[in-house]
């Protein structure tokens, strides 16, 4: 499959401090890729390098077939969308006037603004002044702003941090629709449920180093003990290893009608992150 992002031996040093130490990874065309890491692990630095805001100290970075030396070009900028902490809106203008202004500024056509407002579920708020919007609504408008020029690839730096579950779900739905329409999405998060739900593949970032890279399901399988956790009606909780010699025990429990619930051990991404890095994902 074609790669939208190719990174080989990427390194970033601030003064004496290495923020990214020799990272290599690819992002496939059409996937939702999540970079997971706690605060200070290098997520924002990675996005800044991939979008041309910062230059890497060493290594090769290629995005959409364009080498990092050419990230300053209008062609590159027209093909990527960015939602980050630095994204901002004009507080005294309405939602629609903000987007119209940005469209003009970036030379994007106005005709699909309505569709984008629908995608982020902000149609009914289109005439509201931005200063009167909740944080979640503002974030949805910022997402619309990042999408206005129909980029092939969108970078989202912790798009849902500090949002309530309702707004988070709205953003997730918008991103899923966008992805179904063919847009590649690169997001950072320290929210493991978000990563599990949204991402085709995730990479763990810890102190500037990539530790694991795979689909959430594959990682959960890899770090599973594969044991069965059985809860009985009598209130017992049994852990039975997934081995042939335990088949009779399980058969008996089910045969006697004792089993209330049974499932295999599947750690969450947060538990796996803790196991791999020794650090919580917050
Ligand atoms: N402009 C900068 N100058 C110096 N150090 C920086 C700069 N930007 C980030 N860092 C350092 O790089 C490390 C990674 O930061 P960052 O990429 O912001 O992490 P994250 O987004 O995962 O919280 C941190 O130790 C941070 O202090
Ligand atoms: Mg950050």
Cα–Cα separations (whole angstroms), residue 126 to 43, 106, 117, 122: 32, 20, 8, 6
Ligand nearest to the CA of 158: 2
Assessment of whether the complete model's pTM goes beyond 0.85: yes
pLDDT confidence tier of residue 76, bands split at 50, 70 and 90: very high
Distance 188 CA to ligand 2 centre (A): 8
CA angle, 86 as apex, 5 and 110 as ends, to 5°?
75
- Whether ligand 1 lies within 6 angstroms of the CB of 81 is answered as no
- Ligand found nearest the CA of 48: 1
**Closest Cα to atom 8 of ligand 1:** 45
Q: Is 77 helix (H, G, I), strand (E, B) or coil?
A: helix
CA distance 77 to 62: 14
183 lines ligand 1 (CB under 6 A): no
Q: How far is the CA of 18 from the centre of ligand 1 (A)?
A: 9
What pLDDT, in 10s, does the model give residues 212-267?
A: 999 999 999 999 999 999 999 999 999 999 999 999 999 999 999 999 999 998 89
Q: Are 188 and 20 a contacting pair, CB within 8 Å?
A: no
For residue 43, the CA-to-ligand 2 centroid distance in Å is 5
84 C-beta closer than 6 A to ligand 1: no
DSSP state of 130: G
The band of 1, judged by pLDDT with boundaries at 50, 70 and 90, is: low
Which of the pair, 27 or 105, is modelled with greater confidence?
Answer: 27
Ion ligand 2: protein residues whose beta carbon lies under 5 Å: 43-44
Does domain 1-79+151-167+178-224+269-282 fall under CATH 3.30.1330.40? My reply is no
DSSP 149: T
CA distance 95 to 113: 11
Tell me the per-residue pLDDT of 110-123, one tens digit each, with 9 for 90 and over: 888 999 999 899 99
- Mean of per-residue pLDDT scores for the chain: 94
Q: Which of 232, 239, 225, 235 is nearest to 272 (CA)?
A: 225
* Sequence ranges of the domains in the chain: 1-79+151-167+178-224+269-282, 88-150, 225-265
pLDDT tens sequence across 126-157: 999 999 999 999 999 999 999 999 999 999 99
Tokens 């990539």 belong to residue: 210
């Amino acid at each position: 499959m074609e790669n939208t992002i190719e990174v080989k031996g990427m390194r970033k040093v601030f003064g004496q401090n290495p923020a990214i130490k020799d990272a290599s990874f690819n992002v496939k065309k059409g996937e939702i890729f999540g970079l997971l890491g706690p605060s200070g692990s290098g997520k924002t630095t990675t996005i800044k390098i991939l979008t041309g805001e910062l230059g890497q100290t060493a290594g090769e970075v290629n995005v959409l077939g364009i080498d990092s030396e050419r990230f300053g070009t209008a062609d590159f900028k027209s093909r990527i969308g960015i939602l980050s902490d630095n994204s901002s809106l004009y507080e005294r203008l309405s939602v629609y006037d903000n987007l119209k202004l940005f469209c003009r500024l970036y030379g994007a056509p106005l005709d699909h603004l309505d569709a984008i407002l629908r995608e982020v579920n902000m149609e009914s708020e289109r005439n509201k002044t931005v200063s009167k919007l909740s944080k979640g609504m503002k974030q949805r408008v910022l997402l619309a702003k990042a999408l206005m020029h129909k980029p092939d690839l969108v970078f989202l730096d912790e798009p849902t941090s500090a949002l309530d579950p309702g707004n988070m779900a709205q953003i997730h739905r918008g991103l899923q629709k966008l992805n179904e329409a063919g847009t590649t999405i690169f997001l950072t998060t320290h929210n493991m449920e978000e990563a599990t739900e949204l991402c085709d593949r995730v990479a763990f970032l810890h102190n500037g180093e990539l530790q694991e890279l795979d689909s959430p399901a594959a990682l959960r399988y890899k770090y599973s003990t594969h044991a069965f956790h059985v809860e009985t009606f009598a209130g017992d909780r049994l852990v039975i290893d997934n081995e042939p010699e335990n088949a009779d025990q399980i058969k008996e429990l089910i045969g006697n009608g004792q089993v209330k619930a049974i499932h295999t051990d599947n750690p969450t991404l947060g538990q796996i992150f803790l196991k791999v890095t020794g650090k919580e994902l917050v």
